[in-house]
């Protein structure tokens, strides 16, 4: 037998050595990279994993009315949370714990399936199924098992007492008291105060940079809550903590920073006058709807009175004393969270209760716009105060689109088809004579007004001088500026040249002219105060710090000084007083107090009226307007009332304004003072 030995080939041995060498080189490279070249970066990442900055919520400032009534406050709410890592491991005990929590909180153990019995989240009045306890715990256990997750944000005191007594037998369950927003006056002041909501994903980066926690903090979505967000939110504090790999807090590092409480806001609103204004407006709208339902005229289908506005200000300072927009919504529904079903119901409502008609509704102003025409015509010498123009009830004009256009004749009528006869400046305002204002705006040779009257260019100048086609600057989001048309505007938006007929119609606040109720009211302030200044409205009376110290107060809000002469201002003011003596507002009165103002009836044909087949030639529906102020000698309150499809201004909007002024003077003698 012959022995033979088989050796390992040298190339294989060298291959093994190469592999060993490469492995050692790789290990050496990693050691160098981790401990030398990449040390700073990896150390920073390790520190980030070990240390976390936790934000500490700042108390939000509250909102008061002018007399100290709370309109928005922070109330303690008891929340129930679970720390997943501390839950019992035994499946039976865990099931018992979940069952007990579900019984006490009303939160389902697991998310209900989307079957035919409960998949109703898209219907008005129904909510989509909310996450169950098991799903909430599972998600938190996956991310940070030592961080508590809230399963019930607002537990009643009675149930909290029961749960508190059982906490020893419910490992991993905690009760926490935290602040939630509450709106004591609810729907009464919803459009002014607004509401809060969560920080959305597209807002997250912005608010994180300001120190907010998107998972916890809420921000203002509407009203004062939105506009004064930066003032009332304060500044969150923070603390640096050391955590383990599961996110469990081990110890606090350093001193951190204490939260800075938000500042509180005192509004100019008097909630008592607000309630009186809302009641007066709602009652009048109800009456008008009852009248409309009783109308059996087949040629004029009934149009419901769907929306209304009532605003009261102190005309000397521009302070808003009351602002009502109907229909409204209940912001108390949004105190804890924003219910999807309720919000969707409000958003889909045909009368848009979330929409603040006082500042965002753009409507033809009709005769309340005539102060701009009157002031401009007298200032420019188109007429004199004593000049008499005869109103036969209608006049024939020539409608031209360019200077050499032979034009076509067109009849324009006064609301009083019999005519007002001889009309001078003050009487023209008092009886709101359409033919008189046609003459002032577009000219009337037979009436003694030559050269086309004021004309659209000068009319635009005086209207914008009084604040039409401009934002008032009120401290609320969503304000619109209305429209005072120009020649260029019509060419760009309608595709036609401006016509002389357009000027005549604009002269009575119709056609393309649009304004918000707040704009209309502020346009009257130069004549109410008789000083030529257009006041800027304000809702902010005071801003206070967390200890109640006044940081700033409101002052007289002069928006701009008009170019109107004292004589023009006085003549317009006399006309507004005459309205209440023997003009369109003569039936309105408050005992012992002289009123002044202007009524308005503005025809319209919007998409709502068209859908209801209401736009009948010669019988269009109309909005009701009323501006009133008192006392005439030294005005303390000025009011505008707008009623959508209310028809006659003096008989529909007028009584509401009268009731508001009456309520103001009744409240004035009470304590605390209305002013």
Domain membership of residue 235 (yes or no) is: no
Domain membership of residue 165 (yes or no) is: yes
* pLDDT score of 154: 80
pLDDT in tens, 190-248: 999 999 988 888 898 899 899 888 877 889 999 999 999 999 999 988 888 776 654 55
Distance CA 470, CA 54 (A): 45
* pLDDT score of 183: 95
Radius of gyration of the chain, Cα coordinates, nearest whole angstrom: 35
Q: Which of 414, 310, 361, 312 is nearest to 625 (CA)?
A: 310
Domain final residue pick, 166, 182, 198: 182
Residue by residue, DSSP assigns 366-428 as GGGGHHHHHHHHHHTTSS-TT--EEE-SEEEEEE-SSTT---EEEEEE-SSTT--EEE-HHHH
* pLDDT score of 608: 76
* pLDDT score of 243: 63
Q: Residues 25, 134: one domain? A: no
Say if residues 186 and 213 touch (Cβ distance below 8 Å): no
CA 152 to chain centre: 30
Say if residues 514 and 502 touch (Cβ distance below 8 Å): no
Q: Residues 552, 630: one domain? A: yes
Checking DSSP bridges between strand 63-64 and strand 264-267, what pairing results, if any? parallel
* pLDDT score of 116: 35
SS3 labels along 311-330: EEEECCCCEEEEEEEECCCC
CATH number at residue 417: 3.40.710.10
Q: Residues 100, 40: one domain? A: no
Q: What is the pTM of this model?
A: 0.84
pLDDT above 80 (res 268): yes
More confident residue, 127 or 354: 354
**What are the backbone dihedrals phi and psi of residue 494, each rounded to the nearest 5 degrees, phi first?**
-105, -25
Domain membership of residue 283 (yes or no) is: yes
- 512's CB contacts (< 8 A; 6+ apart) are 483, 485, 489, 490, 502, 506
* pLDDT score of 117: 38
Q: Residues 394, 321: one domain? A: yes
Q: Residues 589, 634: one domain? A: yes
Number of domains observed in the structure of the chain: 3
- Of the segments 10-19, 87-96, 257-266, 429-438, which one has the largest average pLDDT value? 429-438
Domain final residue pick, 132, 162, 182: 182
* pLDDT score of 114: 42
Say if residues 131 and 151 touch (Cβ distance below 8 Å): no
pLDDT above 90 (res 587): yes
Q: Residues 370, 325: one domain? A: yes
3-class secondary-structure state, position 558: strand
Q: Residues 583, 662: one domain? A: yes
Q: How many CB atoms lie within 10 A of CB 549?
A: 9
Bond from prior residue into 631 cis (ω within 30 degrees of 0) = yes
Q: What is the dihedral of CA 357, 363, 368, 371, to 10 degrees?
A: 110
* pLDDT score of 121: 33
Q: Residues 311, 410: one domain? A: yes
pLDDT above 70 (res 5): no
Q: Residues 17, 147: one domain? A: no
Say if residues 434 and 414 touch (Cβ distance below 8 Å): yes
Domain membership of residue 123 (yes or no) is: yes
Q: Residues 81, 25: one domain? A: no
Domain membership of residue 353 (yes or no) is: yes
Distance CA 584, CA 587 (A): 8
- Domain limits for position 93: 75-182
Q: Residues 607, 513: one domain? A: yes
Sorting pLDDT into bands at 50, 70 and 90, what band is 609?
Answer: confident
pLDDT in tens, 110-138: 876 544 333 333 323 334 456 788 888 88
Sorting pLDDT into bands at 50, 70 and 90, what band is 469?
Answer: very high
pLDDT in tens, 395-430: 999 888 888 888 898 999 999 999 999 999 999 999
* pLDDT score of 125: 33
Q: How many CB atoms lie within 10 A of CB 168?
A: 7
CA angle 605, 308, 649 (to 5 degrees): 70
Phi-psi region of 456 (alpha: psi -120 to 50; beta: other; left: phi over 0): alpha
- 56's CB contacts (< 8 A; 6+ apart) are 236, 237, 238, 239, 256, 258, 259
More confident residue, 298 or 178: 178
Domain final residue pick, 127, 153, 182: 182
Of all residues in the chain, what percent carry a pLDDT higher than 90? 55
pLDDT above 70 (res 672): no
Q: Residues 385, 288: one domain? A: yes
pLDDT above 50 (res 50): yes
Mean pLDDT of the chain: 87
**What are the backbone dihedrals phi and psi of residue 519, each rounded to the nearest 5 degrees, phi first?**
-55, -45
Q: Which of 209, 382, 203 is nearest to 218 (CA)?
A: 203
* pLDDT score of 120: 34
* pLDDT score of 554: 73
Domain membership of residue 418 (yes or no) is: yes
Q: Would you say the C-alpha torsion 249, 251, 254, 256 has a positive or negative sign?
A: positive
pLDDT above 60 (res 295): yes
Domain membership of residue 124 (yes or no) is: yes
Domain membership of residue 393 (yes or no) is: yes
């Amino acid at each position: 037998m012959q022995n033979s030995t088989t050796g390992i080939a040298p190339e294989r041995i060298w291959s093994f050595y190469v592999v060993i060498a490469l492995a050692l080189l790789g290990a050496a490279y990693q050691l160098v990279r981790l401990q030398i070249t990449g040390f700073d970066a990896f150390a920073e990442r390790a520190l980030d994993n070990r240390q976390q900055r936790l934000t500490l919520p700042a108390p939000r400032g509250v909102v008061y009315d002018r007399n100290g009534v709370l309109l928005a406050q922070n109330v303690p709410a008891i929340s129930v949370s679970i720390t997943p890592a501390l839950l019992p491991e035994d499946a039976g005990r865990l099931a018992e714990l979940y069952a007990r929590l579900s019984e006490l909180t009303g939160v389902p153990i697991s998310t209900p399936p989307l079957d035919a019995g409960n998949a109703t989240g898209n219907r008005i009045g129904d909510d989509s199924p909310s996450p169950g306890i098991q799903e909430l715990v599972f998600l938190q256990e996956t991310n940070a098992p030592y961080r508590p997750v809230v399963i019930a944000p607002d537990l009643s005191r009675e149930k909290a007492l029961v749960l508190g007594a059982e906490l020893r037998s419910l490992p991993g369950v905690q009760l926490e008291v935290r602040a939630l927003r509450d709106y004591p006056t609810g729907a009464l002041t919803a459009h002014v105060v607004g509401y809060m909501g969560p920080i959305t994903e597209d807002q997250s980066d912005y608010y994180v940079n300001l120190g907010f926690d998107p998972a916890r903090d809420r921000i203002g979505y509407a009203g004062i809550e939105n506009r004064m967000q930066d003032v009332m939110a304060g500044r969150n504090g923070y603390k640096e903590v050391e955590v383990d790999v599961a996110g469990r807090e081990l110890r606090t590092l350093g001193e951190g920073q204490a939260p800075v409480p938000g500042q509180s806001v005192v509004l100019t609103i008097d909630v008592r006058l607000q309630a009186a204004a809302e009641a007066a407006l709602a009652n009048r709208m109800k009456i008008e709807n009852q009248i409309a339902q009783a109308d059996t005229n087949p040629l004029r289908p009934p149009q419901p009175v769907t929306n209304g506005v009532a605003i009261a200000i102190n005309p000397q300072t521009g302070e808003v004393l009351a602002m009502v927009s109907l229909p409204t919504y209940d912001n108390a529904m949004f105190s804890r969270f924003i219910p999807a079903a309720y919000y969707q119901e409000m958003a889909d409502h045909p009368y848009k209760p979330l929409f603040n008609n006082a500042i965002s509704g753009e409507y033809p102003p009709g005769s309340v716009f005539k102060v701009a025409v009157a002031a401009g015509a007298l200032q420019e010498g188109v007429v004199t105060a004593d000049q008499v123009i005869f109103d036969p009830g209608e006049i024939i004009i020539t409608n031209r689109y360019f200077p050499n256009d032979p034009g076509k004749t067109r009849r324009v009528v006064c609301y009083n088809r019999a005519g007002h006869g001889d009309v001078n400046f003050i009487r023209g305002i008092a009886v709101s004579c359409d033919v008189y204002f046609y003459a002032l705006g577009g000219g009337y040779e037979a009436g003694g007004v030559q050269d086309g009257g004021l004309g659209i260019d000068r009319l635009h100048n005086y209207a914008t001088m009084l604040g039409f086609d401009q934002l008032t600057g009120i401290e609320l989001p969503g304000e619109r500026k209305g429209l005072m048309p120009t020649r260029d505007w019509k060419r760009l938006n309608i595709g036609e040249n401006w016509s002389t007929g357009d000027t005549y119609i604009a002269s009575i606040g119709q056609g393309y002219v649009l304004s918000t109720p707040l704009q209309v009211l502020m346009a009257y302030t130069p004549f109410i105060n008789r000083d030529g200044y257009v006041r800027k409205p304000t809702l902010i009376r005071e801003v206070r710090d967390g200890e109640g110290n006044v940081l700033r107060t409101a002052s007289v809000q002069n928006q701009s000084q008009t170019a109107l002469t004292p004589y023009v201002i006085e003549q317009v003011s006399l006309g507004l007083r005459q309205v209440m003596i023997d003009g369109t507002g003569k039936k309105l009165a408050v005992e012992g107090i002289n009123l002044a103002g202007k009524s308005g009836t503005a025809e319209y044909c919007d998409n709502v009226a068209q859908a209801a087949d209401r736009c009948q030639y010669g019988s269009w529906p109309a909005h009701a307007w009323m501006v009133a102020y008192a006392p005439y000698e030294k005005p303390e309150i000025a009011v505008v009332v707008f009623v959508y499809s209310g028809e006659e201004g003096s008989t529909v909007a007028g009584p509401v304004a009268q009731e508001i002024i009456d309520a103001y003077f009744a409240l004035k003698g009470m304590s605390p003072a209305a002013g």
